[in-house]
Amino acid sequence: MSQFIVAETFEDSLARLSNEEQKAAKLTVYDLQTNPAAKGLNYETLKAPKDKRFRAVRVNRDVRIIVHEMDGSLAICYVAHHDKAFDWAVRRRLDAHPKTGSAQVVEVRETVLEIPIPVYVEAPQEAAGAGKASEKSKAPAAPELLFAGVTDDELLSFGVPEDWLPDVRAACDERSLEVLASHLPAEASEALWELATGGTPTVPVHAEPGSNPFEHPDAQRRFLLVNTVEELQRALDFPWDKWTVFLHPEQRVFAEKEFNGPARVSGSAGTGKTVVALHRAAGLARRDPQARVLLTTFNEPLAAALRVKLRRLLDGEDEVLERIVVEPLDTVALEIVGAIGELPQLASVDDIHELVAVAASEVEENRFSESFVESEWSDVVDQWQIGGWEEYRSVQRLGRKTGLGEPQRKELWAMFEHVAAGLDERGLVTMPQLYGTATRIVEDDGAGGFDFVVVDEAQDISVPQLRLLAAMAGGRPDGLFFAGDLGQRIFQTPFSWKSLGVDIRGRSKTLRVNYRTSHEIRRYADRLLPPALSDVDGISETRGGTVSVFAGALPSIELVDSAAAEETLTAQWIKGLIDGGLEPGEIGTFVRSSDEIPRARAAVEAAGAKALLLDGTNDAGSGAVAVGIMELAKGLEFRAVAVIACDEGVVPSQSRIEQIGDYADLEDVWETERQLLYVACTRARDHLLVTGVTPGSEFIEDLVTER
């Protein structure tokens, strides 16, 4: 047997079996790899298969594995109870696409009954001799076909199976395309969505005649070639994870390209930005055997998730893995400063609040509220490390909406001098000050020790963090690479990267293929954000043209009369999903703040499930339904998500609005609150529930209103 192959469809079906059935199936797969002709293996012939190369292998009295033999290769395709396994095989074929050469598992067209095919029917003639103009006016308008202007040859070039061409030609609206695309290989459905939304699809690689169909780039997203028993064990022990195993051609180009300066990949939630960052870090380490690579993000939970995925990606490449450090940025800065001496004591939020209050009380005729003074200190003086009056007098105050004349700035500076003196007296430093120290150390001594830096969730990095990153890159052409989405910015005030020497113009790419979120959920969530977002440097990220690779259920958006009614509704929704086969660990529930956590926990427990409170240090997927605040949803993925307690005064957060020091900043707060809800909703893959008590959050109306 020249090749042993594990299909994504096998991994998915294996997960649906009981633990004992999974163990038995894995043992049979090991036997198949060792010797597929062994006497102990019991092969069974399928009745009337469309693809005669499919056969069934007995696991136990009721479980069967479907295998496929082609050109000396054995592919493990599916596993299920007897009737279900046989039905799956009878309804499919596995072959190389005639145009692209990629191996595809394709549903046989005549076995699929639910494709909606629009039919143009002429109206009957009203009477003999009626005029042609009259007949024409009575006939219903023919549906406008989505792909009328695309030739069969072009459709085939995108990977559409030949026998599905008539159905593609008949697609006339979004719903028919949703149903159709769910039956097609991923590269074909992606291309059709791109065409339907006015885009220009990337044409898949067309392999040379005689090429191995399982080695085609698109085949690699659904088939894993296994060479050793150890590789097979890893393949069966890990769930199929296309976000780290497979790179879409659009992603691969950006992950592997050599740049002449800082670069950034962007895209809406689920488009694989983190995957690109992971492959970028791995590729840089492989490219230069002496290089050390920093893969970083803005907090420890996200860094922990990156470590898990990187270990999976580099399984068996220990030498490469050892040269990639995965740490949050704060840890990196602390280590740089700590390496040359004792770490200073960091000022807390309460420390700053107290010092600002004291400073405000000591300035006569103070015209500013304490909240405004504190936000001006945090967002301007401390963030940009303003060192003196002359510097503050002329600073542009990027991100601040209220203009200040020189007399007002002078009054404020007097208070800031009190705050700075208070920090010195207490022996405290702020985190931006510590970043400033770390940056100077790197600039003076070359500390840090990294040749390349890759940053995930880059939309939430701050001014002092970017300064440190720029210093660590040291001007190397490929030294800095960012992955992020402006639509998911929830922490930092926007600022100009270019002003800090990080110019990504001409080296910025927006990804448009969504792998994680169904078409329906993505479409609803995108209504929370404008069609395009721009950073301070004028680089625009458009959300139009993004396509999801699969369709799913419509989100449920519900307003109820009371918190008790919401609890009942959410509990029934969660219980229905679990009864339908979802594991509790595949479900997440999110609320705006800790004040609403009891409502989420009560709903989960009313569903008869255990609740796991996410605190930023533990992992979801533990066999309990995850419960957490929206800010902790970052980086998480669930089959189903309930976003509850979206009440008026809760989303957007009334307490956050009341803390605004500069009411001219209200628009930015509103924007980040929208983006926070967007982040929570897009953690869902297949099912989404959004609830609130009447009248509900004003954002709910945006979710349900078609643009």
Give percent of the chain with pLDDT exceeding 70.
90
Please indicate, yes or no, whether residues 448 and 328 belong to a single structural domain of this protein.
Answer: yes
Q: From 369, 401, 428, give the residue that closes a domain.
A: 428
d(CA 533, CA 459): 12
Please indicate, yes or no, whether residues 319 and 356 belong to a single structural domain of this protein.
Answer: no
d(CA 480, CA 361): 45
Residue 607 structure tokens: 């569903």
Smallest Cα–Cα separation from 358: which of 411, 407, 417, 406?
Answer: 417
pLDDT in tens, 273-302: 998 999 999 999 999 999 999 999 988 888
Please indicate, yes or no, whether residues 416 and 297 belong to a single structural domain of this protein.
Answer: no
Poorest-pLDDT segment among 104-118, 438-452, 623-637? 104-118
pLDDT in tens, 179-196: 888 889 988 988 888 888
Q: Indicate whether 145 belongs to any domain.
A: no
Q: Indicate whether 152 belongs to any domain.
A: no
- For tokens 């770490």, the residue is 343
- CB-based burial, 517-534: b 16+ in 10 Å, e otherwise: bbbbbbbbbbbbbeeebe
pLDDT for 624 equals: 93
Mean pLDDT score, 611-620: 76
432/623: higher pLDDT: 432
The answer to whether the CB of 8 falls within 8 A of the CB of 77 is no
Please indicate, yes or no, whether residues 227 and 294 belong to a single structural domain of this protein.
Answer: no
Please indicate, yes or no, whether residues 88 and 221 belong to a single structural domain of this protein.
Answer: yes
Q: Where are the beta strands (DSSP E) in 466-599?
A: 480-483, 508-511, 513-514, 532-534, 540-542, 547-548, 556-560, 587-591
Q: From 428, 444, 470, give the residue that closes a domain.
A: 428
Give percent of the chain with pLDDT exceeding 90.
51
Residue 652's domain is classified under what CATH number?
A: 3.40.50.300
Structurally, the chain folds into a number of domains equal to: 4
Q: Indicate whether 615 belongs to any domain.
A: yes
Residue 215's domain is classified under what CATH number?
A: 3.30.2310.20
Mean pLDDT score, 569-582: 95
The answer to whether the CB of 262 falls within 8 A of the CB of 458 is no
Mean pLDDT score, 196-213: 83
- What's the whole-number average pLDDT of the chain? 86
Decide if pLDDT at 591 tops 90.
yes
d(CA 168, CA 164): 6
Q: Where are the beta strands (DSSP E) in 563-702?
A: 587-591, 611-613, 625-629, 638-643, 684-693
Please indicate, yes or no, whether residues 652 and 590 belong to a single structural domain of this protein.
Answer: yes
Q: Indicate whether 108 belongs to any domain.
A: no
Please indicate, yes or no, whether residues 229 and 248 belong to a single structural domain of this protein.
Answer: no
pLDDT for 120 equals: 45
Mean pLDDT score, 492-509: 87
Q: Indicate whether 247 belongs to any domain.
A: yes
Who contacts 10 (Cβ-Cβ below 8 Å, separation ≥6)? Answer: 65, 76, 77, 78, 79
Q: From 198, 219, 237, give the residue that closes a domain.
A: 237
From residue 309, alpha-carbon distances to 7, 277, 300 in Å are 20, 11, 14
**3-state secondary structure at position 576:** helix
d(CA 115, CA 168): 10
pLDDT for 280 equals: 95
Half-sphere exposure of 671 (CA within 13 A, CB side): 16
Please indicate, yes or no, whether residues 333 and 283 belong to a single structural domain of this protein.
Answer: yes
Please indicate, yes or no, whether residues 68 and 217 belong to a single structural domain of this protein.
Answer: yes
Confidence at 354, pLDDT banded by 50, 70, 90: very high
Winning range, highest mean pLDDT, from 246-255, 329-338, 488-497, 551-560: 329-338
> Domain range for residue 251?
242-339+434-516
Please indicate, yes or no, whether residues 444 and 419 belong to a single structural domain of this protein.
Answer: no
Mean pLDDT score, 562-569: 97
Please indicate, yes or no, whether residues 375 and 418 belong to a single structural domain of this protein.
Answer: yes
Poorest-pLDDT segment among 184-193, 221-230, 352-361? 221-230
Please indicate, yes or no, whether residues 27 and 40 belong to a single structural domain of this protein.
Answer: yes
pLDDT for 131 equals: 43
Q: Indicate whether 695 belongs to any domain.
A: yes
pLDDT for 205 equals: 81
Pairing assessment for the beta strands 324-328 and 611-613 based on DSSP bridges: unpaired
Q: Indicate whether 187 belongs to any domain.
A: no
d(CA 255, CA 483): 11
Who contacts 61 (Cβ-Cβ below 8 Å, separation ≥6)? Answer: none
256, burial (CB in 10 Å: exposed 0-12, middle 13-18, buried 19+)? middle
Decide if pLDDT at 130 tops 80.
no
pLDDT in tens, 14-23: 988 998 999 9
Decide if pLDDT at 663 tops 80.
no
Decide if pLDDT at 495 tops 90.
no
The answer to whether the CB of 460 falls within 8 A of the CB of 489 is yes
Decide if pLDDT at 172 tops 90.
no
- For tokens 């809800």, the residue is 677
Q: Indicate whether 22 belongs to any domain.
A: yes
pLDDT for 398 equals: 61
β-partners of residue 688 are 641
216/139: higher pLDDT: 216
pLDDT for 121 equals: 44
Smallest Cα–Cα separation from 225: which of 1, 27, 479, 483?
Answer: 1
pLDDT in tens, 316-350: 899 999 999 999 999 999 999 999 888 999 999 99
pLDDT for 113 equals: 54
pLDDT in tens, 376-411: 899 889 999 998 999 998 887 765 656 788 888 999
pLDDT in tens, 552-563: 889 999 999 999
